[in-house]
Amino acid sequence: MAPEEIIWLSIGFLGQFLFAMRFIIQWIVSEKKRDSVIPIAFWYFSIGGGAILLSYAIWRADPVIILGQSTGLFIYLRNLYFVTRRRKVDFDVPDPDREGMAADTPKKSDAVPK
């Protein structure tokens, strides 16, 4: 096997390892929380593994893997966008308890519906 092939084979295995690790991470976090959750690390490992596997697929000129990983990368990036946007929105919403307001200050949740 030529050195170039060995390098690319190693790259492919690295991508596959990262891609598989996303499930291990998701499983560990879910076990700790005793609930099925998808931690943000899942999306980072998906992107890292997917990008490396896409590079490997392009080198191999494999249209099946190229299509699958390209589509997957779009989905992983979109999900990461949603997660970071939600975190930014959650962070930007003022919290009366964090701003030192008195405990007896009415909150939105205390409002009586009309």
pLDDT at 41 over 90: yes
| Share in percent of the chain as helix, strand, coil (round to 5) | 75, 0, 25
80 within some domain: yes
Number of domains within the chain: 1
pLDDT in tens, 60-73: 999 999 999 999 99
Quick one: tokens of 43? 């999306």
Full residue range of the structural domain in which residue 75 is found: 61-88
* Within-domain flag for 51: no
Q: Are 17 and 49 in contact, with CB atoms under 8 Å apart?
A: yes
What pTM was estimated for this model as a whole? 0.73
Residue 102 pLDDT more than 50? no
Q: Please tell me the predicted confidence (pLDDT) of residue 96.
A: 52
Distance CA 18, CA 5 (A): 20
